[in-house]
Amino acid sequence: MQSDVQITDRPDAAPALKLLITSEVRFLRESLGEILGRNRAMLVIGHAQDSNEMLSLSHELRPDMVLLDAAVRNGIAAVRQLRETTARPRFVVFAVIESVESVVDWAEAGIAGYIPSTAALADLNALVTDIEAGRQACSGSVSAGLIRRIAATAKWSDGRRPSPAKLTRRELEIVGLIGTGLSNKEIARRLNIGVATTKSHVHSVLNKLNLQRRGQAANWTRSPDR
């Protein structure tokens, strides 16, 4: 598939936030680029059509921020991969379903912020600007859920390793894919099973390993003494 990378040069503009927009839907990434490009505080320097191109262009163009469509395949794994080597660019995921599980999955991968699927197009510039400034608006349910998650995971903060339990073959597959940074939806697609079934397996894995969240399971897979 031919890339539609677009590099913009505006020598007359003041230093601006350099953006790379990633979506598998060409109309969507170009529309967002058109809207954000009207803001002189932002500069759209490229478009990527998938996670692989996003990683390549992130190294090549060195954007300040990557706007990533939550629907991009292997998006969480790609963010995690880049975060393991560098703190930049910052990632902002848009069209996120605002549930605690979804927000935590992306946060654990290393994003700087998210734009929910319910956000209005007219608010896009303000939302990106706020995230760049270190501010993130969350729904009340997500805020409460995040507090509960932090409280629940405090029991693991003393450094004790979870006790391994016997996992089924399918559960071993699931926890291995969690370790690569895949979301439930991506794991379901990879294993050709339903998302609900995937969630059930993830819940069982966490219970057997005495863990509270996916990030701990991912760390468990990387532990040399497990």
In order of 30, 166, 221, the CA distances from 209 in angstroms are 44, 9, 11
Q: What percent of the chain has pLDDT over 70?
A: 84
Please say if the pLDDT value at position 10 is more than 50. no
Domain coordinates in residue numbering, the chain: 17-144, 161-220
Asked which of 16-20, 187-191, 203-207, 215-219 is least confident by mean pLDDT, the reply is 215-219
CATH class name, domain 17-144: alpha beta
What's the rounded mean pLDDT across residues 54-58?
Answer: 95
Residue 58 confidence (pLDDT): 94
Please say if the pLDDT value at position 128 is more than 80. yes
Please say if the pLDDT value at position 61 is more than 70. yes
Mean pLDDT estimate for the chain: 84
Query: Apex CA 91: angle with CA 53 and CA 172, to 5°?
Result: 75
Q: Which of 205, 180, 221, 2 is nearest to 80 (CA)?
A: 180
Buried b (16+ CB within 10 A) or exposed e, 46-65: bbbbbbebbbebbeebebbb
CB neighbours of 201 closer than 8 A, spacing ≥ 6? 170, 171, 174
- Rounded Cα distance between 174 and 146, Å, is 23
209 compared with 23, residue with greater pLDDT: 23
Please say if the pLDDT value at position 105 is more than 60. yes
**In which band, very low, low, confident or very high, does the pLDDT at 217 lie, cut at 50, 70 and 90?**
confident
CATH fold group of domain 161-220: Arc Repressor Mutant, subunit A (1.10.10)
pLDDT by residue (tens digit) across 156-202?
Answer: 555 555 555 578 888 888 988 888 888 888 899 989 898 888 988 89
pLDDT by residue (tens digit) across 26-51?
Answer: 999 999 999 999 999 999 999 999 99
Residue 167 confidence (pLDDT): 82
- Rounded Cα distance between 208 and 63, Å, is 41
Residue 222 confidence (pLDDT): 66
199 compared with 21, residue with greater pLDDT: 21
What's the rounded mean pLDDT across residues 53-58?
Answer: 95
Asked which of 27-31, 32-36, 97-101, 119-123 is least confident by mean pLDDT, the reply is 97-101
Residue 164 confidence (pLDDT): 55
Q: What percent of the chain has pLDDT over 90?
A: 42
Residue 5 confidence (pLDDT): 46
